[in-house]
């Protein structure tokens, strides 16, 4: 009968046993010890290592001894041999276990990613305002960053563009950065999409917020004292800062921290000064506006 599962073993190492005497023929230093590694298999695929055992054979009388039959000097010699020349188990003894662990790790990774994604992209249940159209407004504004159609730019967007590109990491492709600025009463929303933000280390990305704030300080913005800043990467929001909260880890940020920008009694049609700008369509002749 063929068994598709069970225990098997393979030879790991052979060593001479010194300072020993065969109990049967009294021949000295005639033992060769062979160590075997046992493993559990399923359909002949090694799943998990089980144990090691050794067998000694006398080269003179050919008498063999299982490890439990070793004399004291044979066992001591084997222990010394293992300390200097151990019988290491090959990795393939546990290859089946590794094949099982890999998909489990992948599943755990997907679950963790899903939890992080939903945590950073869903408004918290404790938000004072109920789920309203503010989330839709924000999502629509973020979508505009990737739209092919471009609106006429205003001085605020142009100043911001020229200020930021003048100091931005030279490895970033500035021609692909996209901007959106939007005003609501005394609030200013600033959104950027930097698709190759991965060229900046995560721990250094919050400096982009500092750069934007420095540029905003150089603007002449009347009746505007609250700034809401969000930076999008290739797949998700990576940085957020508002007058009330911030998320500057540099990898995943809660974009819905920007919802307070839309808190107003006005409807979407009455929110003025909507401007979207893609650097890729701004004429090269526009001169950089220096920070005062």
Mean pLDDT of 161-188: 85
Tell me the average pLDDT of the chain: 79
Domains in the chain: boundaries:
5-95, 122-281
Q: How confident is the model at residue 154 (pLDDT cuts 50, 70, 90)?
A: low
Residues 6 or more apart from 227 whose CB is under 8 A from it?
187, 188, 190, 213, 216, 241, 242, 243
**Which two tokens mark 46?**
């090694």
pLDDT of residue 287: 37
Q: Is 184 helix (H, G, I), strand (E, B) or coil?
A: strand
- pLDDT tens for residues 64-110? 999 999 999 999 999 988 888 888 888 777 777 777 788 888 888 88
- pLDDT tens for residues 128-153? 444 568 999 999 998 887 664 444 45
**Closest CA relative to residue 209, chosen from 151, 171, 167:** 167
**Closest CA relative to residue 236, chosen from 112, 120, 114, 108:** 120
pLDDT of residue 130: 47
- pLDDT tens for residues 226-260? 999 999 998 899 999 999 999 999 999 999 999 99
pLDDT of residue 121: 53
pLDDT of residue 138: 92
Q: Distance between CA atoms of 85 and 55, rounded to whole angstroms?
A: 16
């Amino acid at each position: 009968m063929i068994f598709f599962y069970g225990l098997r073993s393979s030879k790991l190492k052979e060593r001479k046993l010194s300072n020993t005497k065969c109990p049967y023929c009294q021949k000295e230093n005639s033992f060769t010890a062979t160590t075997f590694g046992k493993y559990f298999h399923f359909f002949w695929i090694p799943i998990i290592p089980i144990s090691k055992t050794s067998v000694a054979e006398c080269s003179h009388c050919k008498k063999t001894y299982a490890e439990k039959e070793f004399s004291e000097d044979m066992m001591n010699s084997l222990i010394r041999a293992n300390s200097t020349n151990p019988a290491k188990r090959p990795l393939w003894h546990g290859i089946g276990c590794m094949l099982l662990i890999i998909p489990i790790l992948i599943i755990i990774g997907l679950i963790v990613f899903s939890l992080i994604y939903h945590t950073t992209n869903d408004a918290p249940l404790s938000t004072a305002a109920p789920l309203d159209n503010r989330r839709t407004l924000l999502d629509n504004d973020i979508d505009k960053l990737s739209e092919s159609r471009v609106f006429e730019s205003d001085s605020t967007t142009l100043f911001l563009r020229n200020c930021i590109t003048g100091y931005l990491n030279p490895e970033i492709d500035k021609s692909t950065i996209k901007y959106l600025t939007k005003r609501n009463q005394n609030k200013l929303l600033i959104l950027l999409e930097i698709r190759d933000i991965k060229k900046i280390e995560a721990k250094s990305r919050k400096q982009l917020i500092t750069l934007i704030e420095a540029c905003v300080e150089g603007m002449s913005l009347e009746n505007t004292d609250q700034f809401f800043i969000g930076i999008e990467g290739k797949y998700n929001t990576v940085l957020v800062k508002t007058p009330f909260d911030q998320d500057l880890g540099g990898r995943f940020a809660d974009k819905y921290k920007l919802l307070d920008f839309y808190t107003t009694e006005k409807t979407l049609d009455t929110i003025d000064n909507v401007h979207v700008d893609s650097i890729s369509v701004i004429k090269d002749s526009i001169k950089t506006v220096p920070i005062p």
